[in-house]
Amino acid sequence: MQKILNIPKEFVSEMLEGILQAYPTQLKAVDGDNQALTRADAPIAGKVGITTGGGSGHLPLFLGYVGKGLLDGVAVGDVFQSPTADQMLAVTKQVNSGAGVLYIYGNYGGDVMNFDLAAELAAAEGIRVETILGADDVASAPKGEESRRRGIAGIFFLYKVAGAAAAAGKSLDEVVAITKRAAAQTRTMGVALSPVTLPTVGHPTFEVKAGEMEIGMGIHGEPGIRKAKLETADQITTELISAIKSDLSLKSGDKVCVLMNSLGATPPEELYIMYRQVKKIFSGDGIDVARVYVGEFATSLEMAGASISVIRVDSELLGYINAPAHTPFFTQV
Amino acid sequence: MQKILNIPKEFVSEMLEGILQAYPTQLKAVDGDNQALTRADAPIAGKVGITTGGGSGHLPLFLGYVGKGLLDGVAVGDVFQSPTADQMLAVTKQVNSGAGVLYIYGNYGGDVMNFDLAAELAAAEGIRVETILGADDVASAPKGEESRRRGIAGIFFLYKVAGAAAAAGKSLDEVVAITKRAAAQTRTMGVALSPVTLPTVGHPTFEVKAGEMEIGMGIHGEPGIRKAKLETADQITTELISAIKSDLSLKSGDKVCVLMNSLGATPPEELYIMYRQVKKIFSGDGIDVARVYVGEFATSLEMAGASISVIRVDSELLGYINAPAHTPFFTQV
Amino acid sequence: MSEFSATLEKVAKALENNSKRFEELDSAAGDGDLGITAGKIAEGIRSGISLSTGDLKADLMMLGREISKSAPSTFGTLFATGFIRASGVVSNEYSPLENVQKGFKAAFEGIAARGKASIGERTLLDALAPALTALNDASDLRSSLSSAAIAARAGAKATAEMMPRHGRAGWIGERAKGLEDAGANVIAVVFEALQ
Amino acid sequence: MSEFSATLEKVAKALENNSKRFEELDSAAGDGDLGITAGKIAEGIRSGISLSTGDLKADLMMLGREISKSAPSTFGTLFATGFIRASGVVSNEYSPLENVQKGFKAAFEGIAARGKASIGERTLLDALAPALTALNDASDLRSSLSSAAIAARAGAKATAEMMPRHGRAGWIGERAKGLEDAGANVIAVVFEALQ
Ligand SMILES: Nc1ncnc2c1ncn2[C@@H]1O[C@H](COP(=O)(O)OP(=O)(O)O)[C@@H](O)[C@H]1O
Ligand SMILES: Nc1ncnc2c1ncn2[C@@H]1O[C@H](COP(=O)(O)OP(=O)(O)O)[C@@H](O)[C@H]1O
Ligand SMILES: [Mg+2]
Ligand SMILES: [Mg+2]
Ligand SMILES: [Mg+2]
Ligand SMILES: [Mg+2]
């Protein structure tokens, strides 16, 4: 296991300690629990609070998006594990300024259970909580069963839209409405080229053989839709984009934003080789790429592989995506 | 070879195509050669031009630092290979506004030869060129032989200082003086945990065995100073920081900025675990960390490993490091 | 230690004793962490016991909160939800049998609502539902718990023939067939400890 | 094709024919790319030949620029520097022997300045320096080139006993001993082709 670690089971607590030491003016822990983090200046008077949460091992997901123009707080679980309802509740109370709180997180059983429970407990304390799930992974369930889809890198666009709308002073209902619209227009599809090793396990927890790939594999190793010999960048990109295009019914004249995401070990060089093909396909289809993000947005430790997320935008959504943001992990001017 | 590629020998040209398509408003190619890139708005009237160059495979090095508040242009070589003198010359001519040009690049034989030749040819065309080498790798030559040291991630601080000084309207002599001061105060030391595979080679070009590490190995696999069983994060961090501290003669009361860099596959989680220990050591020594950067700044494709760079700062250097910057790969507000 | 606390301690011990089996079943069809979860639930139960006030309603809520803190996985949260929902319906004015019947009914409904699963979808519900029927059919506490244990075990066995649709097992579909659901097994163990 | 161009073509061919050997030597002590570099220098030479004007000064400059474009590695750039510096000192007023002597002297000095290496540090200079001495000691072109070839080869052989301090081989130190320097070998091959 080629990892730089101390005691494997302290992986998350030591990571969080390092993060809080690195950004003391930007992040703070609620009630001394480093797994319940908020913006240092939370709550922001009059602003809708936006929180997220999920397992560790996906940096910059989830905590990396807590900051100006994006999220207010995050509950952080162990590696690939949901945080507790209690942690999400603590975050909720800390970020609530009275304007209500929106939960945005990925559609995974454990997270849904915990955050629904947190929302129930928050409601009992008089805090209005709304929830929107990231469920952008086209590969994880067929059309018609969208609500079963897992959430992966496309959640970035939901954060961005919701964060910008809340920063602009929109009400909870307005933020919910625009974020739902963003969610309905967002799709992701990925490919895995290597497994990952959990620090506490010490060996890969699933298999992707050398020379092979798995299209649609989830970021925790959830089975994909096709195992095959490793294909060329153009072939892979074409397959991912085709699935997204058809699921989203993209057509000539549409405007989109694209997010090219590395799962960890795949270097940015390869993402740009893929983007070259994305741009070629979209240009051929008369689809306009209004903005592209390339890098690590939702990872799986040192997994090799990549995902492509696409959101169809109108001028309102694009305005929110283009709005400035500033967190310890993401800055946009 | 778990890489997302088309034709291996087109790796660099396809990557550059993708980059130019992603950032058409920020970057441009000189005379149609994608290996000679400058800011889209170059030359900037009255500003000292700053250029860099080096082999591919190190993103965001080198081209990722071309943009506002940082560099004006870059010559891009093949993977791990120097670009040509001609390409650097073309970039030099494009970024020169009459205020002169500063070359900042890593101390590697091929690059030095080519860029010295470029400088000679530029001088023949009446452009004043000065050169400062990044030679921050403590592991690559002993004290007293600093000029033989290789340049690695610490070059980021040289770019940052030079870029901010030039953006502030300083003359070439002034930019050279402050950047030399930055270079004299910057040290890096790294550890490699896995080899890399060049796209055209298809198998690892050197060896780092599972369960082992090599302290001080270079970003092209240049031999380090010590091969050993993989140690804990705290042990590794302590070794790297000790070497830097003694080489830089850091003492209580000093103020530093720190850059925690992943070589590619090592996830940010592990960098924060290391930073926790850096902070602990520096706190114990009475050394103040004024700013920390954590992420990928100088990589080696999918190599696992990390490096720590430290620059001792005074208020002038810190001011330049804290100045805003904006490139397609790096934004600071 | 009150009788209520002693019973809960028996449940905690049973969860620990069977954690290997839970891990095996969850490894085959899920992600293998249900053994760890069972241990964490046991911890949560003990922490709830230590905070016990003797008031059934308050104690069930406290147990639910403690379990949800120590066992945040899907199963742990559903299990905790059961206690929290039961807390809402029990009362000192009811007989022990009534409290058991009302409490498990509320737990079942709360878990079904939170997990959005239906009977027959290969989850803990498929052990809990027959147990609940058995509880309601009985006229005294002792016999109700012993027939519930038998029913829960039979329910768990029957999951081997069901297609998973929820949790991580939902992603492997057909391949889970022939094996019992891990979570349903936990429920069977719990009822066996309660009797 | 002029005699000058024909000679250069012989050099290009010799570089290609020996690229395997260069690769082997550079693999053992450096990064193994000197075989590729030799091929690229040959390309640069041919491209320079195709742009030839017949004016020695201009042609040498052009050759240097073309070689530096096609072979940007350390060795390629040093090789190109030799042509560019030679261009600065040759003249149509000198005899061929004088041009050869002055040109190689300037090349040697330019390469030494660019590479900051000294004699005895196991680089191409250790083949070029004895060749230059041989050129200067001779009184006619033909004999000067043949004795230079012998001297360059002897110089290359002697590098096997030197400790590398430059280029990638500089990083491996002691381990390079016993093997000839790759770049010095290229110089020997070039002089053997020139004679
Ligand atoms: N939506 C659901 N509703 C009811 N029970 C569920 C649901 N999802 C999972 N379960 C139960 O939980 C068990 C797995 O629990 P656990 O290992 O904690 O979940 P996971 O690892 O999938 O997050 C399953 O065996 C099943 O009995
Ligand atoms: N600084 C130097 N001065 C003179 N010759 C050098 C120098 N560095 C390298 N060389 C020569 O170049 C050869 C290696 O060239 P090349 O493979 O292009 O370099 P690298 O791969 O190290 O960039 C060496 O064998 C040596 O003869
Ligand atoms: Mg499980
Ligand atoms: Mg689980
Ligand atoms: Mg070489
Ligand atoms: Mg080389």
* Pocket mutation for ligand 2, best pick of B107, B113, B117, B147 (most atoms within 8 Å of C-beta): B113
Neighbours of chain A (3+ CB pairs under 8 A): B, C
Q: Are B257 and B290 in contact (CB under 8 A)?
A: yes
The answer to whether chain B touches chain D by having 3 or more C-beta pairs less than 8 angstroms apart is yes
Identify residue C134 by its one-letter amino acid code: A
Whole-number percent of chain D with pLDDT over 90: 83
pLDDT band at residue D72, thresholds of 50, 70 and 90? confident
Q: State how far residue D20 is from chain B, nearest Cα, in angstroms.
A: 16
Q: Give mean pLDDT, residues D104-130.
A: 96
pLDDT tens digits along A84-132: 999 999 999 999 999 999 999 999 988 999 999 999 899 989 999 999 9
Helix axes D182-194, D125-137, angle to 10 degrees: 30
CA of D183, nearest ligand number:
2
Residues from chain C contacting residue A140 (CB–CB below 8 Å)? 171
**Widest distance between CA atoms in chain B:** 55
Residue to mutate among A2, A4, A197, with most B CBs inside 10 A, is A4
Please give the order of strands across the beta sheet that includes A27-30. Answer: A27-30, A33-39, A73-79, A49-56, A101-106, A129-134
Backbone torsions φ then ψ of C102, nearest 5 degrees:
-65, -40
Q: C-alpha distances in angstroms, A304 versus B18, B194, B197, B267?
A: 20, 14, 14, 11
Domain spanning B186-321: CATH superfamily:
Dihydroxyacetone kinase; domain 2 (3.30.1180.20)
* The pLDDT of residue A202: 86
> From the CA of A222, how many Å to the nearest CA of chain C?
7
Query: What is the domain range of residue C11?
Result: 3-194
User: According to the model, what pLDDT value does residue B150 have?
Assistant: 96
Between B109, B148, B218, which is nearest D74 by CB? B109
Residue B212, pLDDT > 60, answer yes
Q: Chain D residues with CB inside 8 Å of B77's CB?
A: 72
Contact C74 A116 (CB under 8 A): no
Catalytic residue IDs of A: 58, 220
* Cα(A90)–Cα(A92) distance, integer angstroms: 5
pLDDT value for C80: 96
Mean pLDDT of chain C: 92
Using a CB-CB distance cutoff of 8 angstroms, which residues of chain D are in contact with residue B82?
72-74, 77
Q: What is the ipTM metric for this complex?
A: 0.87
Rounded to an integer, the average pLDDT of A205-216 is 92
Please judge whether A109 and C114 are an interchain contact, meaning their C-beta atoms are less than 8 angstroms apart.
no
* Single-letter amino acid, residue D137: D
The pLDDT of residue A328 is 98
**Which candidate in B93, B149, B220, B312 is catalytic?**
B220
Token code pair at residue A118: 């947190």
Determine the residue among B117, B147, B206 to mutate to test chain D binding: the one whose Cβ has the most chain D Cβ atoms within 10 Å: B117
Our answer on whether C and D touch (3+ beta-carbon pairs < 8 Å) is no
With CB atoms and an 8 Å threshold, state whether B220 touches D114: no
* Cross-chain CB nearest to B113 (options D33, D70, D77): D77
Task: Report H helices in D51-90.
Answer: 56-70, 74-89
Decide if pLDDT at D156 tops 70: yes
Query: If you measure from the C-alpha of residue D32 to the centroid of ligand 6, how many angstroms do you get, rounded to a whole number?
Result: 7
Q: Which atom of ligand 1 is nearest to the CA of C29?
A: 25
pLDDT the model gives residue A124: 86
pLDDT at D175: 62
What is the Å distance from ligand 6's center to B321 Cα? 33
Is pLDDT at B245 greater than 70 in this prediction? yes
User: In this predicted structure, which of A31-40, B69-78, C20-29, C124-133 has the lowest mean pLDDT?
Assistant: C20-29
Q: CB A83 to CB C72 under 8 A?
A: yes
From D72, which residue of chain B is nearest by alpha-carbon distance?
B84
Q: List chain D residues with CB under 8 Å of B225.
A: none
Mean residue pLDDT of chain B comes to 96
Which residue on chain B is closest to D81 by alpha carbon?
A: B117
Contact between chains at B21 and A304 (C-beta distance less than 8 A): no
Name the neighbours of B, counting chains with at least 3 Cβ pairs within 8 A.
A, D
Of A203 and D193, more confident: D193
The CA-atom distances, in angstroms, between A50 and each of A174, A332, B28, B287, C108 are 13, 19, 39, 37, 31
- What are the tens digits of pLDDT across the range B110-161? 899 999 999 988 998 999 999 999 999 999 999 999 999 999 999 999 999 9
Q: Which residue of chain B is at minimal alpha-carbon distance from A17? A: B276
More confident residue, B309 or A1: B309
- Nearest-neighbour CA in chain B from A306: distance (Å): 9
Which pLDDT score, from 0 to 100, does residue C171 have?
Answer: 56
Ligand 1 atom nearest to C123, measured from its CA: 27
Kindly determine whether residue A21 and residue B332, on different chains, have CB atoms separated by under 8 Å: no
Q: Strands, E, within B107-229: which ranges?
A: 129-134, 186-192, 212-215, 226-229
Of the partner residues C65, C70, C77, the one whose CB lies closest to the CB of residue A110: C77
Name the least confident of A114-123, A312-321, C81-90, C163-172: C163-172
Which residues of chain A make contact with B211, given a CB cutoff of 8 A? 2
Residue D170 confidence (pLDDT): 60
In single-letter form, the type of residue at position D157 comes to K
The amino acid sitting at B200 is T
Can you tell me the mean pLDDT for C43-55? 96
**Least CB–CB distance from D68: residue in B81, B86, B109:** B86
C188 half-sphere exposure, CB direction, 13 A CA radius: 23
Segments of chain B assigned to CATH 3.40.50.10440: 8-184
Mutation choice for B interface testing from D26, D77, D85, D168 by most B CBs within 10 A: D77
**pLDDT confidence tier of residue B203, bands split at 50, 70 and 90:** confident
Domain boundaries A8-184, corresponding CATH code: 3.40.50.10440
The pLDDT tens digits of the residues spanning B50-96 come to 999 999 999 999 999 999 999 999 999 999 999 999 999 999 999 99
Q: What is the CA(C30)–ligand 3 centre distance, in A?
A: 5
Give pairs for A222-229: CB < 8 Å, separation 24+: A222/A140, A222/A150, A222/C168, A222/C171, A223/C171, A223/C172, A224/A139, A224/A191, A224/A192, A225/A139
Query: Taking CB atoms and an 8 Å cutoff, what residues of chain D touch B203?
Result: none
Given a contact cutoff of 8 angstroms between Cβ atoms, the answer to whether A261 and A295 are in contact is yes
What pLDDT shows up at residue B326?
98
From ligand 4's centre to the CA of B121, what distance in Å?
64
User: Using an 8 Å Cβ cutoff, are D138 and D147 in contact?
Assistant: yes
Distance to chain A for C125, nearest Cα, Å: 15
Q: Which chain D residue lies closest to B139 (C-alpha atoms)?
A: D171
Q: CA nearest A225: which of A190, A260, A275, A270?
A: A190
Q: What's the DSSP call for residue B134?
A: E
Q: Band the pLDDT of B200: cuts 50, 70, 90.
A: confident
* pLDDT over 80 at B264, yes or no: yes
Pinpoint the residues of chain B covered by CATH 3.30.1180.20. Answer: 186-321
- Which ligand number lies closest to the CA of residue D25? 2
Average pLDDT, rounded, for chain A: 96
Mutate to test the interface with A, among C171, C174, C181 (most CBs of A within 10 A): C171
Query: In the predicted model, is pLDDT for residue B176 greater than 60?
Result: yes
Q: What H or E segment, with its residue span, contains residue A33?
A: strand A33-39
Cβ atoms of residues A50 and A71 within 8 Å: yes
Instruction: Tell me which residue has its CA closest to atom 23 in ligand 2.
Output: D74
Residues of chain B in contact with residue D72, where contact means CB-CB under 8 angstroms, are 77, 81-85, 110, 114
Annotate B259-297 with DSSP letters as a single string. Answer: EEEE-BSS-HHHHHHHHHHHHHHHHHHT-EEEEEEEE-S
Looking at residue C69, which CATH number applies to its domain?
Answer: 1.25.40.340
Ligand 2 pocket list (CB less than 6 A): B 109-110; D 26, 30-31, 33-34, 37, 73-75, 78, 115-117, 123-125, 166-168, 181-184
Q: Which residues of chain A make contact with B270, given a CB cutoff of 8 A?
A: 3-5, 15
Question: What local confidence, expressed as pLDDT, does residue B131 receive?
Answer: 98
Report pLDDT for B139.
96
Hey, is A61 helix, strand or coil?
A: coil
Chains that touch D (3 or more CB pairs under 8 A): B
Q: Which residues have any ligand 1 atom within 6 Å of their CB?
A: A 109-110; C 26, 30-31, 33-34, 37, 73-76, 78, 115-117, 123-125, 166-168, 181-184
